[in-house]
Structure 1
Amino acid sequence: MKHAHPSAARTLPAPSRSPVGRRLALIPLAVLTLTLMACATRVPAPTQELALSRAAIESASRAGAAELAPSELNIALQKQAQADTAVGQEQYDRALMLASEVTVDARLAEAKARSSRANRAASELREGGRVLRQEINRAQ
């Protein structure tokens, strides 16, 4: 009875796999890789940006934009509705872009409303000054 030398490496035959079998074995690895890539590149829901855009609309409304800058406010409201729809459809990149546009449009509406109020106040002050000058001239 011969004993093999203990240092001799014992080789096992490699399992025979067909080319189709090897390709099928790669499918789970490919699926896992694609899943990880999809998770890594997914844009999170823009909840903070949507909250800021809603706050900008509220601020514009309080400033009188519904009366003094209605077209700008309506544009912001329409885009807000589109952003909400995009979130519902998990199109977070689109929702983020729209939320940013809403914020800009609402701030524009607010600025126009405040500007209009300031122009009205300035006109009233000018008219008041004119009336006072007339009264002073009459009194002399």
Structure 2
Amino acid sequence: MKKIECYQPRGIVKMLIYLFLFWTVICCVSVISNNDYFIEGIVCSIFFDMTIFLTIFGILVYKITATDECIIIRKWYGRRVKVKFDDITKVVFATLSGKPVDATRIRIYKGKKKVLSLDPVMENYDKMKNYLLDHIDDTKIDTIS
């Protein structure tokens, strides 16, 4: 069973971790140096830190896996969506040249609802694009310029 994974770039996570650490240090110094707003500083720091942490967690968790019979999309908090290749109604390849091989963005539809969108900045995007071209019927493929 062949399996290909596509996920968000990890460089964004590194940047957010540095921002998380930088903000935490600034808040700690601010709270220690100014005793008048101690509680407000702690609350503000916790809310901002949790926002950054949840963003980091969301980026790390999001992953698209393609197997021989379906595409599995893992979203927030372990939620998974399975889409079988037979259930896919349309795959739109946004290209500049009009050829699916040169796609700059891929959108997958199940019925009229968009289930998945792939961007070229994602890790293993080219492998996933080629895998989808091999496993999806040509009648379901649509290109837009």
TM class by shorter chain equals 0.3 to 0.5
More strand by share: 2
- Relative to the length of structure 2, the TM-score reads 0.34
Instruction: Output the TM-score relative to the length of structure 1.
Output: 0.35
